[in-house]
Amino acid sequence: MIERESQIKELYDLKHRKDVELHTHFDYENKLLEKMLPAYIFKNPIMQDFLVRLQKIMVWTYESNVVVRNWYNFTCGKYYNRHSN
């Protein structure tokens, strides 16, 4: 998400048009809090709206840590997520 939002959308799509997902891992960008929290919390529409906004912040925090882990690894890009979990 950080890499995608930090670049121009068309250029990002052009660079990554041939990318193939090697790992089928959990879609944490869209379902992180759904799996972490009980379902009855999402029944309240006000709380659900708040959690959707909170989820984006949590995903951003996770992906910023991936950048730190790959900072000194010169063999891959700064935003390369080689850790599926």
pLDDT for the residue 85: 44
The boundaries of the domain holding residue 9 are: 2-69
Q: What is the pLDDT of residues 39-80, one digit of tens each?
A: 999 999 999 999 999 998 988 888 777 666 656 666 666 566
User: Cβ of 50: how many Cβ atoms within 10 Å?
Assistant: 12
| Assigned domain for 49 exists | yes
| Assigned domain for 83 exists | no
How many domains does one find in the chain? 1
Does the structure show a pLDDT above 50 at 6? Answer: yes
CA 15, 18, 20, 26 torsion-angle sign:
positive
Q: What is the pLDDT of residues 13-41, one digit of tens each?
A: 888 777 666 556 677 788 888 888 999 99
Q: Which of 16, 14, 11, 8 is nearest to 80 (CA)?
A: 16
| Assigned domain for 81 exists | no
| Assigned domain for 78 exists | no
pTM of the model: 0.54
